[in-house]
Chains A and B, each alone.
Chain A
Amino acid sequence: SAVISQKPSRDICQRGTSLTIQCQVDSQVTMMFWYRQQPGQSLTLIATANQGSEATYESGFVIDKFPISRPNLTFSTLTVSNMSPEDSSIYLCSVEVVGSSDTQYFGPGTRLTVL
């Protein structure tokens, strides 16, 4: 398994500002992903965080709005830029751990409220 931490756990932000969310894993991982869960909804994949290269974004998500970094095997950041109330969601980091038979593990999430 893996222990995944996310910072911050929650935040309340003003419209037009940006927030960077950090994801740290205690194990070597093969893949890291960022998901969004809007209120009352299920999870939607934002992007796959690739080590040392640009993230791979899903349809409807763009790098200018959600820039992602992954400088090493165990750490990634997601920035939510120029926020609006529609960005209010839980943002979750997930990982696939080496030798875990493709099981994916999730962080505790970051609850973002945009006023």
Chain B
Amino acid sequence: KQEVTQIPAALSVPEGENLVLNCSFTDSAIYNLQWFRQDPGKGLTSLLLIQSSQREQTSGRLNASLDKSSGRSTLYIAASQPGDSATYLCALLNSGRRALTFGSGTRLQVQP
């Protein structure tokens, strides 16, 4: 059974800092990995999707990497802004399964 862990659980940084969020998983037989953002009391917004054959994806100030052999993914946020404050979730789609397995999330607060 796939298990997904996100570290740290919470993070507070000053505005402008670059930061890295970590996601680790136990089963490397994945089809893809998605990073989501969730604002308090809201639904999920898809940020980046990395296919299993890819190593990284970039969108604006966000860069996500995937290392299947080590069971790790990172989400890099450059020049953080207060508007980046949210919970960030990584979720995996395992081969042969159609629903996502989610990590517990990292709650990010960017201080102005």
Contact = CB atoms under 8 A, between A and B. Distances in A.
Contacts of A109: 41-43
Interface in B77-112: 89, 91, 93, 98-105
Contacts of A96: 98
A54 interface: no
Secondary structure at chain B's binding surface: helix, strand, loop or mixed?
strand
Interface in B20-60: 31-32, 34, 36, 41-46, 49, 51
Contact of A104 (B34, B41, B103, B105): B34
Secondary structure at chain A's binding surface: helix, strand, loop or mixed?
strand
A27 B41 CA distance: 25
Contacts, number: 56
Interface residues of A, number: 22
13 contacts: A33-B98, A33-B100, A42-B104, A44-B102, A45-B99, A92-B44, A94-B100, A101-B32, A101-B51, A103-B34, A108-B42, A109-B43, A111-B41
